[in-house]
């Protein structure tokens, strides 16, 4: 009995210790699982960050290839690694590592003994070809400028390195990558706008910027007697001239060198198109540009404004907010403006009937119309109410 009592009394601390061990193990497992969960959270979100790192590697490899004229050397017939190393003077190991990286990216096709160009590289990356985009890409990847984005944020000033790299480049790179596609894609827009022009009308068009001029060419093809005046700087006008000649519209297109605030003939044009140029100017400058277009239009004339416009909540569309960093690097006053802000600029410039074009998020149309008449004067004016004097007794 005494032994059993002692046994029973001894079981309690033994069971308590087991319970403590079990509870400690349970807590440890909870702690371990918690750590696993904490560790798993950043791992599940790393995919996008890893993709950015991969894209940096790709950009660095392609930048090096363009600087070293790799694609041009291969296009000249130096397909094998020894031939490529011999003509360039590169070490074979270093050359092989770069060529293999380019092959992995899809810009080269790697055979057993040689490298050949992919269709993309052959079209756009061989120096001397009409479609060569190497200089444009190198300017976009200018590390001195891109790497100083933080300095631009801190100072709110454009970077000299960025301005110098992009001084002679097109304003809208996507448009000039494939101008024929850009021109044809805009053609249906003219059918969506409720113009009242007759098919044989002798219309006068004014384009602010060669991007507007490029897209206005499809308007000339729609209205056979229309004529176009393109206003831009001489360096930009040179991009549009060969396209105008290629589509055989040179007899109906004139070029005028000047800036957007250049005084123009008033009450002359039936339609003005403004494309891309407003994105690198302040609100005040844009109102001046649009007012200049307003005064150049005939009464009841139209304006078509095309620009990268943010949604009012500034979350899109697409990559427009990301493009705002280019605005930051290139201008001290410009901004990525919302659709509502562009509408306000048009109205402040004197335009009426500001309307979108279907579901398109980057277009506004407006018209030069007579201002509405003032409200009629009120015939009966209520007499002043003069209360009777209070007589105190």
- Confidence bin at 16 (pLDDT 50/70/90): low
Distances (CA, A) of 321 to 136, 312, 317, 333, 391: 21, 12, 8, 16, 72
Same domain, 36 and 64: no
- The answer to whether 290 touches 275, Cβ cutoff 8 Å, is no
Residue 156: pLDDT over 70? yes
**Lowest pLDDT segment from 107-121, 205-219, 305-319:** 305-319
Q: Containing H/E element for 354?
A: strand 352-356
pTM (2 decimals)?
0.75
Q: Looking at the domain assignment, is residue 166 inside a domain? A: no
Q: Tens digit of pLDDT for each residue in 24-43?
A: 555 555 554 555 445 555 55
Q: Looking at the domain assignment, is residue 374 inside a domain? A: no
DSSP 61-90: HHHHHHHTTHHHHHHTT--BHHHHHHHHT-
- Confidence bin at 392 (pLDDT 50/70/90): low
Where residue 350 sits, what CATH number does that domain have? 3.40.50.150
Closest CA to 134 of 146, 120, 144, 124: 124
Average pLDDT over residues 295-300: 97
Closest CA to 103 of 82, 123, 79, 129: 79
Domain span including residue 29? 12-44
Per-residue pLDDT, 8? 47
Hey, how many other C-beta atoms are within 10 angstroms of the C-beta on 355? 12
Same domain, 61 and 38: no
Average pLDDT over residues 246-251: 94
Same domain, 236 and 274: yes
Strand partners, 108: 117
Q: Looking at the domain assignment, is residue 393 inside a domain? A: no
Average pLDDT over residues 313-337: 86
Same domain, 125 and 36: no
Same domain, 236 and 284: yes
Same domain, 111 and 248: no
Per-residue pLDDT, 190? 95
Same domain, 76 and 55: yes
Same domain, 116 and 65: yes
Q: Which residue, 110, 129, 148, sits at the end of a domain?
A: 129
- Confidence bin at 184 (pLDDT 50/70/90): very high
Q: Looking at the domain assignment, is residue 60 inside a domain? A: yes
Residue 105: pLDDT over 90? yes
Counting the structural domains of the chain, the total is 3
Strand partners, 230: 207, 255
Q: What is the spatial distance between Cα 254 and Cα 213, in angstroms, rounded to a whole number? A: 10
Q: Tens digit of pLDDT for each residue in 106-115?
A: 999 999 889 9
Q: Looking at the domain assignment, is residue 219 inside a domain? A: yes
Per-residue pLDDT, 66? 94
Same domain, 179 and 317: yes
Residue 264: pLDDT over 80? yes
Q: Looking at the domain assignment, is residue 195 inside a domain? A: yes
Same domain, 278 and 324: yes
Distances (CA, A) of 232 to 173, 229, 325: 17, 10, 25
Same domain, 217 and 241: yes
Q: Percent of the chain scored above 90 by pLDDT?
A: 55
Q: What is the spatial distance between Cα 148 and Cα 213, in angstroms, rounded to a whole number? A: 34
Chain centre distance of CA 330: 13
- Confidence bin at 216 (pLDDT 50/70/90): very high
Q: Looking at the domain assignment, is residue 378 inside a domain? A: no
Residue 207: pLDDT over 80? yes
Residue 288: pLDDT over 60? yes
Q: Looking at the domain assignment, is residue 79 inside a domain? A: yes
- The answer to whether 242 touches 169, Cβ cutoff 8 Å, is no
Same domain, 179 and 260: yes
Question: CA Rg, the chain, in Å?
Answer: 34
Distances (CA, A) of 392 to 41, 136, 228, 389: 84, 91, 83, 9
Q: 168 or 13, which is more confident?
A: 168
Where residue 73 sits, what CATH number does that domain have? 1.10.10.10
């Amino acid at each position: 009995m005494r032994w059993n009592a002692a046994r029973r009394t001894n079981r309690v601390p033994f069971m308590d210790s087991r319970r403590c061990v079990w509870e400690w193990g349970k807590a440890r497992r909870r702690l371990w699982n918690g750590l696993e969960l904490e560790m798993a959270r950043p791992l599940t979100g790393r995919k996008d960050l890893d993709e950015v790192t991969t894209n940096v590697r790709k950009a660095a490899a392609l930048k090096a290839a363009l600087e070293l004229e790799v694609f041009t050397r291969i296009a000249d017939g130096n397909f094998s690694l020894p031939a490529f190393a011999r003509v360039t003077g590169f070490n074979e190991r270093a050359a092989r590592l770069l060529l293999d990286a380019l092959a992995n990216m899809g810009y080269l096709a790697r055979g057993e003994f040689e490298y050949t160009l992919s269709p993309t590289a052959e079209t756009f990356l061989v120096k001397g070809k009409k479609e060569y985009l190497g200089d444009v890409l190198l300017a976009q990847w200018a590390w001195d400028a891109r790497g100083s984005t933080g300095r631009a944020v801190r100072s709110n000033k454009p970077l000299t390195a960025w301005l110098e790299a992009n001084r002679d480049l097109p304003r809208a790179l996507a448009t000039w990558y494939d101008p024929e596609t850009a021109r044809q894609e805009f053609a249906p827009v003219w059918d969506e706008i409720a113009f009242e022009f007759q098919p044989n009308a002798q219309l006068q068009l004014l384009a602010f910027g060669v991007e507007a001029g490029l897209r206005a060419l499809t308007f000339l093809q729609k209205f056979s007697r229309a004529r176009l005046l393109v206003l831009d700087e001489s360096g930009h006008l040179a991009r549009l001239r060969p396209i105008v000649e290629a589509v055989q519209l040179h007899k109906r297109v004139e070029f005028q060198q000047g800036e957007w605030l250049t005084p123009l003939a008033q009450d002359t044009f039936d339609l003005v198109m403004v494309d891309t140029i407003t994105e690198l100017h302040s609100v005040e400058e844009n109102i001046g540009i649009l007012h200049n277009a307003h005064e150049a239009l005939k009464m009841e004339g139209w304006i078509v404004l095309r620009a990268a416009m943010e949604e009012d909540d500034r979350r899109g569309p697409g990559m427009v907010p990301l493009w705002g960093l280019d605005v930051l690097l290139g201008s001290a006053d410009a901004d990525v403006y919302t659709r509502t802000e562009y509408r306000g600029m048009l109205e402040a410039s004197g335009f009426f009937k500001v309307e979108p074009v279907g579901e398109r998020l980057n277009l506004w149309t407006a018209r030069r119309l007579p201002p509405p008449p003032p409200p009629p004067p009120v015939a009966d004016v209520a007499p002043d109410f003069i209360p009777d004097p209070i007589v105190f007794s």
